[in-house]
Amino acid sequence: MRSTGLVPADGVSAGGDRRDVSDVVGVLVLGGCAVWSLVTAALRDGRPEGVLLAVLAVSAGYAAGRIGGALLPVAVPAACALAGPVVTLAAPGLDPGRGFAVPLGHLGATAALLTLSAGAACCAAWATPVPGVRTALRLLAAGIAVAAGVAGSVTGCVCCAAVLVCSLGAGRVRRGPGVAALTLLTALAAGAAWAVAADVLPEGLTESAAGGLSSRRVGLWHDAWRLARSHWLLGVGPGRFGQSGTAVAAADGTPHSAPLQMAAEQGLAGVALLAAAFCWLLYALWRTDRPAPQALTAGVALSLLAVVASVGNALSFTAVTAGAGVLAGLATAHPLAEEAESGARPPRDGPAE
């Protein structure tokens, strides 16, 4: 439903109600992720620290993004865009390893962080009314894509370029259909990973996928699928994938696919909670009263992160989960200057712009 644009007498806008609803949903979903990891860890002698740290990182990042976006809606996203490449260069351990990099490029945190950085730059561009600053911020996003290519992250380069292109066209897309398309894109990526893991694709497609993803990764996915089928209710326990008789060794003990890791370690409920966490982020972007282009730009970056996480180990890094929370918070924050302006403005009839 479209907002009526009315400002109630008590100064509380309909946009504030929308933000309250999405915040409550986020608390419930993230709380459920934390509680379920503790339950499965207790019953399966697992280690829930990784999941708990990821939940904390997303929560803290989201809160920080909301605060920063409210105080400095252009400067803070721009600073975050610059911070991503710096963190990537300063932490060489973000490279997922040579055995998982060829030939798609770095599918782990390197591509994810640079994608989030490009998204932050494009969100800052939509937040500023100054054309010259907007152009400079979009050039920054393009520079991040080039830097990803120079660093050898083919996936990062493609994702950053996709964020920039989609952001340029976001002004012509309605919020609802755009969010629906992003949800479908992520579902298709996760479904493709499941199909490869379950070995249900035709022989030609299976061989093509194995060649593009590397035999080690596909082997890990098969192991995760086997564990998920055998322990569909509770999984084998958080952090116990590498200790559960997997046929293919992984140095980090993960199957390099977030949905498959959740299925193997926390069962179907874990997969549902992971999907709910992503849907909450898109829901918050759909409900926010920030301009649609800014919300959709953040949605594109987060959706591409979800795609990368479906075929990589990006969510195993705290910097990535915190960065996702920061970007979502920035895109859903309501600048204090606009809040004061709308509160001082008398009520008006008619639809909002």
Q: What is the full DSSP assignment across 67-108?
A: HHHHH-TTHHHHHHHHHHHHHHHH-GGGS--HHHHTTT---S
Q: What is the pLDDT of residue 58?
A: 97
When pLDDT is cut at 50, 70 and 90, the band that residue 29 belongs to is: very high
pLDDT tens, 234-257?
999 999 887 776 666 556 678 889
- What is the tens place of the pLDDT at every residue in 266-280? 999 999 999 999 999
Residues 6+ apart with CB under 8 A from 115: 156, 159, 160, 163, 301, 304, 305, 308
Picking from 48-57, 98-107, 261-270, which range would have the lowest pLDDT averaged per residue?
98-107
- DSSP single-letter state for residue 246: -
pLDDT of 63 higher than 60:
yes
Distance CA 55, CA 40 (A): 16
Query: What distance, in Å, lies between the first and last C-alpha atoms of the chain?
Result: 14
Confidence of residue 92 (pLDDT cuts 50, 70, 90): low
% of the chain at pLDDT higher than 90: 62
Does 2 or 137 have the greater pLDDT score?
Answer: 137
Are the beta carbons of 107 and 81 closer than 8 angstroms? no
pTM: 0.88
In angstroms, rounded to a whole number, what is the distance separating the alpha carbons of residues 32 and 28?
6
CA distance 197 to 200: 8
Residue 331's SS3 state is helix
Would you state the pLDDT for residue 286?
94
Considering only residues 104 and 95, tell me which one the structure prediction assigns the higher pLDDT.
95
- Cβ distance 120 to 325 under 8 Å? no
pLDDT tens for 300-326 read 999 999 999 998 888 988 999 999 999
The structure tokens listed for 41 are 């860890």
Predicted local distance difference test score (pLDDT) of residue 316:
87
Radius of gyration of the chain from its Cα atoms, rounded to whole angstroms: 21
Q: Evaluate whether 294 touches 33 at the Cβ level (below 8 Å).
A: no
Q: Which of 64, 69, 50, 16 is nearest to 237 (CA)?
A: 50
**pLDDT at position 14 over 90:** no
Give the tokens for residue 246: 């997997």
pLDDT in tens, 278-289: 999 999 999 998
The answer to whether the beta carbons of residues 164 and 141 sit under 8 Å apart is yes
One-character DSSP codes across 313-336: -GGGSHHHHHHHHHHHHHHH---H
Question: pLDDT by residue (tens digit) across 96-146?
Answer: 444 454 434 455 788 999 999 999 999 999 999 999 999 999 999 999 999
Q: How many CB atoms lie within 10 A of CB 248?
A: 14
Task: Indicate if the pLDDT at residue 348 is higher than 50.
Answer: no
Tens of pLDDT, residue by residue over 168-223, are 999 999 999 999 999 999 999 999 999 999 988 777 776 776 667 777 888 889 99
Phi, psi of 117, rounded to the nearest 5 degrees: -65, -45
**Identity of the amino acid at 299:** G
Whether the Cβ atoms of residue 118 and residue 143 lie closer than 8 Å to each other: no
Closest CA to 223 of 275, 40, 215, 112: 215
Regarding predicted confidence, which is higher, 57 or 352?
57
Give the C-alpha separation, 49 to 167, whole Å.
Answer: 36
Q: Is the separation of the CB atoms in 83 and 320 below 8 Å?
A: no
pLDDT tier for residue 153 given thresholds of 50, 70 and 90: confident
